[in-house]
Amino acid sequence: MRHPARNSIFFLALIVMAAVFLSSRGTPVLAQVPAAGAGVDPSKLPDVEGIHLGMAIENASAIMKSLFPAGSHTLTSTASKFLNTGDKAWITSMTGTVNNACPGCQEQVVVKFSMPPNPQQVIDIQRSIVFGANKQPPMDATIAGLRKKYGPETIKTVPDPVQYFAWLFDEQGKLLPATPQFGRGCAGSIVGPPLGGDPTHPNSVGSALATGPVTPSSVAAMMRDPCRSHVHVSAQVSPSSPTLPLVHILDIHMSENALDTRDIIAAQKYLDGVAAAKKGQDLKKAKQQATPSL
């Protein structure tokens, strides 16, 4: 969000809070935008409750509605729009919450979507579960379940007593080994539109692109961040106590960082084009006004 204020385009985040039922990183990497190849197949990418990274917004929204029906569940959404264009607002995220399922327990799923002008897809999913006192699963069984679903972890930390696991995938769903460029905190490191907008830097899609308009050098600088490529998954497993091997809190976070990178570049180029067109119109109008009547 570091762009000159000379352009008059900015985001307005519209928070739709009613129960609406549509409703690390300093190591250099290759300064190259991750290519989509033949396209992203969501079925090959990690998922939470059947919602896959890369899934179209229409499909993900339908699953969220089925997972969080009215009554004992709440489903909310957020939206944003480009104010100085004729574009409609778009959904940026959906949050589903299970209410009063049991004493002391809680579950929430947050799904975030990529921004236009590219087709909107799932770029980030987070699932947080707080288990009630009589429903806490064993640590070993939970960790074994994570490995069965996502494969052998790329890295893990020494229990302290919280245990942290991370997985690295390519966009074909292939599990990758750790590399010197691997950032353990990259799961969930996406850009997305700034909530509330940023009137001081109006022509911006986020802080990843530090200067505007988009140039090869600004893209190269962005791509030094290891979180701007690949698919990342993390899980944090918190026990009830250091001596009791039962899970109290399970937090799973995943993101399609390569897809996010391509989409923010496309969105920034779109805004750059709108700003350039407006500047051209303003110059033309100024010249016409300056022409004396003879």
What digits encode the pLDDT tens for the residues 262-291?
A: 988 888 888 888 777 777 776 777 777 766
State the alpha helices, DSSP H only, in 132-230: 139-150, 216-222
Range with lowest mean pLDDT among 129-133, 202-206, 248-252: 202-206
Q: Give the chain's length.
A: 294
Residue 68 is assigned to a structural domain of this protein: yes
Judged against a pLDDT cut of 60, whether residue 68 lies above it is answered with yes
Residue 2 is assigned to a structural domain of this protein: no
Would you place residue 14 in the very low, low, confident or very high pLDDT band (cuts 50, 70, 90)? Answer: very low
Radius of gyration of the chain (CA): 22
What is the structure's pLDDT at 227? 87
Of residues 278 and 119, which shows the higher confidence score? 119
Residue 39 is assigned to a structural domain of this protein: yes
Range with lowest mean pLDDT among 5-14, 240-249, 257-266: 5-14
- Which DSSP letter does residue 13 get? E
Work out the average pLDDT over 146-170: 92
Residue 160 is assigned to a structural domain of this protein: yes
What is the structure's pLDDT at 212? 61
Of residues 36 and 98, which shows the higher confidence score? 98
Average pLDDT, the chain: 80
What is the structure's pLDDT at 265? 86
**Mapping DSSP to helix (H, G, I), strand (E, B) and coil, where does residue 268 land?**
helix
Residue 3 is assigned to a structural domain of this protein: no
Residue 5 is assigned to a structural domain of this protein: no
Amino acid at 162: V
Residue 168 is assigned to a structural domain of this protein: yes
What is the structure's pLDDT at 3? 39
Residue 6 is assigned to a structural domain of this protein: no
Q: Residue 186: which domain range?
A: 11-290
Q: What's the number of domains the chain is made of?
A: 1
Residues 142, 250 contacting (CB under 8 angstroms): yes
- Residue 94, judged by CB atoms within 10 A of its CB (0-12, 13-18, 19+), counts as buried
Residues 113, 93 contacting (CB under 8 angstroms): yes
